[in-house]
């Protein structure tokens, strides 16, 4: 795997870890729309953005 691929993979891995840990720890008592609901949405949008960057040069 190329070096920058490893960096992206690590970034995605950390975000996914957060998606497991945060809702069950600091957000477990936040019964608001800006709790786990918003968190998961934001993390997913970041991952979609990372995919955009990883695939930016495909076929070019």
Partner 1 sequence: MSTTYVWWAIAIYVLASLFVAYLSRSGKQTSMSSYFIGDRKLNGFVSALSYSATTYSAFMLVGLAGLTYMGGVGALGFELIYLMGVSLVAFFGPRFWLVGKKYGYVTPSEMLGDRYDNKAVAIVVSISSCLFLIPYSAVQLAGVGYLLQGMTDNAISFTTGVIIATVLAIVFSFIAGIRSVAWTDSLQSLFMIITSTVVVIIIISKLGGLGDFLHTLETDHYELLTVPGNGFWSFTTFLGMTIPWFFFSLSNPQVSQRLYMPKSLKSLRTMLMGFMIFGFIYTMVAIVWGFSAAIKFPGLENADLATPLLLSSDLIPPILGAIVMVGIMAAAVSTIDSILLTLSSLFARDVYGNLKKGATDTMQLRVGKIVIPIIAILAFLFAKLQVNLIAVLSVASSAGLLVVVPAIIGTFFWKRGTAAGVLTSVIIGGLIVIMIELTQIKPFGLASGIWGIVISTLLYVIVSLLTKAPVKKANEFLGYIKTALKNESR
Residues that bind partner 1 (CB under 8 A): 1-2, 5, 8-9, 12, 15-16, 19-20, 23-24, 27-33, 35-37, 40-41, 43-45, 47-48, 50-52, 54-55, 57-60
Q: How far is the CB of 43 from partner 1 (least distance, A)?
A: 7
Nearest approach, Cβ of residue 2 and partner 1 (Å):
7
Q: How far is CA 23 from CA 7, 16, 17, 28, 38, in A?
A: 25, 12, 11, 6, 10
Residues 45, 36: Cα–Cα separation, whole Å? 14
């Amino acid at each position: 795997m190329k070096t920058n691929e490893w960096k992206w993979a690590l970034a995605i891995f950390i975000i996914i870890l957060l998606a497991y840990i945060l809702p069950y720890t600091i957000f477990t008592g936040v019964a608001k729309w800006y709790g786990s609901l918003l968190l998961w949405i934001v993390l997913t949008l970041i991952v979609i953005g990372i995919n955009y960057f990883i695939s930016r040069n495909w076929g070019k």
